[in-house]
């Protein structure tokens, strides 16, 4: 399969023990149906329950994802136009989903954002991203 962003040949990579197709050039990833859920499951199993310790990385990834976010990608598997959709309610993470095969295209940084979203969802008393942002701006202790 070829990258819908730049036409590079996608290579197989292991993320959380799940094989996914990734672009070596732009670092985007194509996930077939069930693969994102499998990564989510694996992530839950070995996660510690603590919120992420490195919010700077998360926020720089978020900036990068916003900058690289473009029109819906063409599915590398079935060549259909994919539809940008919010990954989960309140996640604010938009991924391209294919209506044909159900696959998802994630631009660079978006997989990390989703993993961080899982962590924040699970850490019931952990600060939300908004709270962390307010803390950093000095608006909240």
Is residue 77 a contact point for Zn ion (CB under 5 A)? yes
132 near Zn ion, judged by CB under 5 A: no
Q: Binding of Zn ion at residue 75 (CB under 5 A)? A: yes
Q: By CB under 5 A, what part of segment 31-70 binds Zn ion?
A: none
Nearest by Cα to 109 from 52, 40, 27, 33: 27
Considering the rule CB under 5 A, would residue 131 count as an interface residue with Zn ion?
no
Using the rule CB under 5 A, which residue among 2, 26, 74, 88 binds Zn ion? 26
Q: Which lies closer to Zn ion via its Cβ, residue 3 or residue 58? A: 3
23 binds Zn ion (CB under 5 A): yes
Kindly tell me which residue out of 9, 11, 19, 25 binds Zn ion, with binding defined by CB under 5 A.
Answer: 25
Q: Would you count residue 97 as binding Zn ion (CB under 5 A)?
A: no
Of 114, 122, 120, 121, the C-alpha closest to 35 is: 114
Contact flag: residue 101 with Zn ion (CB under 5 A):
yes
DSSP secondary structure, 22-84, as one string: E-TTT--EEE-TTHHHHHHHHHHHH--SSPPS-HHHHHHHHHHHHHH--SPPBPTTT-PBPEE
Q: Verify binding: residue 20, Zn ion, rule CB under 5 A.
A: no
Q: Give the sheet arrangement for strand 29-31, strand by strand.
A: 11-15, 18-22, 29-31, 104-106, 94-97, 83-86
Q: Which residues bind Zn ion (CB under 5 A)?
A: 3, 5-6, 8, 23, 25-26, 28, 75, 77-78, 98, 100-101, 103
């Amino acid at each position: 399969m070829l990258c819908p962003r730049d036409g590079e040949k996608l290579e197989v990579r292991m993320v959380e023990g799940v094989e996914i197709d990734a672009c070596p050039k732009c670092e985007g990833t194509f996930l077939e149906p069930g693969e994102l859920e499998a990564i989510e499951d694996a992530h839950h199993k070995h996660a510690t329950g603590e919120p992420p310790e490195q919010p700077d990385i998360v926020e720089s990834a978020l900036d990068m994802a916003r900058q690289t976010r473009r029109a819906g990608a063409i599915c590398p598997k079935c060549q259909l136009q994919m539809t940008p959709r919010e990954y989960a309610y309140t996640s604010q993470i938009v991924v391209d989903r294919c209506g044909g095969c159900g696959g998802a295209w994630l631009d660079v940084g978006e997989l990390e954002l989703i993993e961080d979203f899982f962590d924040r969802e699970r850490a019931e008393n952990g600060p939300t991203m908004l709270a962390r942002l307010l803390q950093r701006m000095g608006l909240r202790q």
